[in-house]
Structure 1
């Protein structure tokens, strides 16, 4: 059933990864204090910076696809774990880039977009917990038959 709580968790994770990242800046550059948005990273020279939007959008796509796998809870659980790994990798890249941003000697400003992978990981963890609870409920009912 699509109206379960894990579907809401997955939908919010998809909205944060795919939609909200387009509206919020990741960091501000040290020269002229210009905000850097996720789509600005496609025009970057670094392959590491180009991978950030790809990872955000793939995380959003995987979250939305996992909503519609409600018939196969085990596959939904595995796909959510894969999505958690993608977000952990994305978090590592963002932490690395935040430490090596130019102008770190002066005051630099990190945006709220840097914390989105942490929020998405938390939502995916809650979704996996709810999926596990459903799976345990189904197994307990099968034992009674």
Structure 2
């Protein structure tokens, strides 16, 4: 049992408690850049001593998906000629541009301005024939 916990799972380290490291904040851009430049893949998740394994697996899966490892493996499965390379690069650039597109900030008046509800001009006026009718809890019961 102990030997099974000491094995590593594609960068996921399980087993003995890990010494506390200085935490660093990273958005993964440096890792993605290094991965593309060196054509190597290293996804690592440090598991805490009291962290459940399923939570560590979820973090590992999320990290693998965010680095684009699965897409790269699928791409490398077959030979990619220059035409396919251009198509892929174009497709990736469109996705990247869509993800990085910034919209102008909306002002408060634009977000709170709502159109009047339908038929609002017919109700709530002095000419409204149903203005004196009570509806809901305010209506007197007949029983």
Q: Between Structure 1 and Structure 2, which shows a larger proportion of helix residues?
A: 1
Give the structure-2-normalised TM-score.
0.28
- From the CA coordinates, give the structure whose radius of gyration is larger: 2
